Amino acid sequence: MSLRSSKIEDATGLAGKVQVILEACKKKDADLVAELAASPGGLVNDEARRAAWPLLLGSSPADTDIFEKPWQELPQQKDEDQVKLDVDRSFVYYPRNETDKQLSKRQHDLQILIVSVLRRHPYLCYFQGYHDIAQVLLLVLGPSAATLPLARLSLLRIRDFMLPTFTMSLLHLQLLLPILRAADEELERHVSVTQPDFAIASTLTMYAHQVEDYADIVRLFDFLIAQEAVVSIYLFAAIVLSRREELLEIDPSEPEMLHITMSKLPKPIDWDLLITRATSLFELYPPHLLRPASTWWWKISPYSVLKTTRDRLELRRQSLQDGEVFFKRHAAQVRRMELFSRLQIRLSRITRPYRGYGLAFSVIVVAWWLGVRFNGFAVTAKGFHGAWKFLSSR
Instruction: Output the furthest CA–CA distance in the chain (Å, rounded).
Output: 77
Quote the pLDDT of residue 352. Answer: 61
For 19, other C-beta atoms within 10 Å of its C-beta total 15
Question: How large is the average pLDDT for residues 72-78?
Answer: 95
H or E element, residue 96:
none
**pLDDT reading at 120 higher than 80:** yes
- CA gap 238, 228 in Å, rounded: 16
Helix (H, G, I), strand (E, B) or coil at 285: coil
Question: Using one digit for the tens of pLDDT, what is the confidence trace for 360-384?
Answer: 555 555 554 444 444 444 444 454 4
Q: Look at 135-139, 235-239, 287-291, 378-382 and tell me which has the smallest mean pLDDT.
A: 378-382
Q: Does 312 have pLDDT greater than 80?
A: yes
Contact 223, 53 (CB under 8 A): no
Model confidence, pTM: 0.85
* Share of the chain residues as helix, strand and coil, in percent rounded to the nearest 5: 70, 0, 30
Total Cβ atoms within 10 A of residue 331: 20
Across the chain, what does the average pLDDT equal?
Answer: 87
Q: Could you report the per-residue pLDDT of 147-178, keeping only the tens digit for each? A: 999 999 999 999 999 999 888 888 899 999 99
* The CA-based dihedral angle spanning residues 331, 337, 340, 345, taken in that order and rounded to the nearest 10 degrees: -120
Q: Which of 99-108, 250-259, 347-356 has the lowest mean pLDDT?
A: 347-356
- What percentage of the chain carries pLDDT values higher than 90? 72
Return the pLDDT at 19: 94
DSSP class of 213: -
Separation of alpha carbons 172 and 170, rounded Å:
5
Query: Which pLDDT score is estimated for 358?
Result: 54
**Pseudo-torsion of CA 70, 72, 55, 330, nearest 10°?**
-110
Summarised one tens digit per residue, pLDDT across range 191-217 is: 999 999 999 999 999 999 999 999 999
